[in-house]
Amino acid sequence: MFAINDIPHTRINLLTGEKILVSPHRSKRPWQGQVEDLASDNRPAYDPKCYLCPGNNRADGDHNPQYKAPFVFVNDFSALLKDSGQGEINVSDLLLAETARGICKVIAFSPRHDLTLPEMTVEDLKLVVEVWKGEFQELASHEWIKYIQIFENKGAIMGCSNPHPHGQIWAQNSVPVEVEKEEQRQVEYFDTHGRSLLSAYLEVELQEKVRILIDAEHFVALVPFWASWPYETMIISKRHVQDIRDFSEQECEDLAKVLKELTTKYDNIFETSFPYSAGMHQAPVNSGDQGFWHWHMHFYPPLLRSATVKKFMVGYEMLANPQRDITPEMAAESIRNQSNIHYKERKV
């Protein structure tokens, strides 16, 4: 044993098998670093120039309806196309390529241009969860679809091209690399122990409690033991289910509550609209028995010491493996201590 909050050490990502170097001696209490104020994010409830607002024209000329609930449409500039055909390139087994086929959708979470997930009501967030569930069901009905990725990029520094609250769903004819990594580790554990990897992991985390952020009825939000990003978190379903289609109405509502609480705590850390990339990992579809898969959702935020000081994966991290100074336990304490009331509400 060693002092995990004092000594440089490596941790293993349980879901991928990859290493993370943790150097806690370099920065003991990162949340006490300088906090810089940003210009206020005062967007209007409706922006006539926004291509996601109700009633406006989108980039391709289509006209949005006057929607009152989450609105879904096929991305006007999809990264994957439904009718790509089939083809491949193989030059001496060295230059390899094949066509990719898929369906990319956009979900406007709310008709309000000025809201983000933590500023929406639980009732409205439940509508978002139900749309995710319905879209997953519909996309999975296409037998050629093998994986469905639900995700959100929040904030300009995460590549979000429009501040209107929205997320995406990409459904494709193959399983992505990160999902394949997680699948291999989950299969190995399930075959050896007869239970899901994340069920066993969650049991340990609930016993230790140090990285737990939210312990709700059906879901747990925590900082993973192996987190790479400073304020990385994960939501895990307490019930071992393969994908979002299995969630009951009560579980959908509970997920909405956890999403609101977690993202509110994020915003409160630096009193800013906290950027992140977030997405669900769940079982591939139309691929036989996937009983070893366990639904979970990753949050990867880039902020480090303030609203403007970011973490970059450079140098050693690009050439060797991820490295972090603050430990996941330190980050968990910082997030956990944040209020459940959004900072904007407290300033009213």
Contact by Cβ (8 Å): 169, 148: yes
97, HSE (Cβ side, Cα atoms, 13 Å):
4
| 164 annotated active-site | no
One-letter amino acid at 149 equals Q
Asked whether 267 and 41 are in contact (CB, 8 A), the reply is no
Closest CA to 231 of 328, 153, 157: 328
Residue keyed to tokens 């391709």: 60
- State the Cα–Cα distance between residues 161 and 154, nearest whole angstrom: 9
In 3D, which of 267, 299, 311, 307 has the Cα closest to residue 115? 267
What is the Cα–Cα distance from 127 to 311, expressed in whole angstroms? 33
CA distance 264 to 122: 12
Distance CA 256, CA 39 (A): 29
Contacting residues for 182 by C-beta, under 8 A, at least 6 apart: 15, 16, 281
Q: Which of 9, 63, 113, 166 is catalytic?
A: 166
Question: How far lies 230's CA from each of 58, 179, 248, 313, 328, in Å?
Answer: 36, 22, 33, 11, 7
- 72, β-bridge pairs: 107
Please identify every residue annotated as catalytic. 166
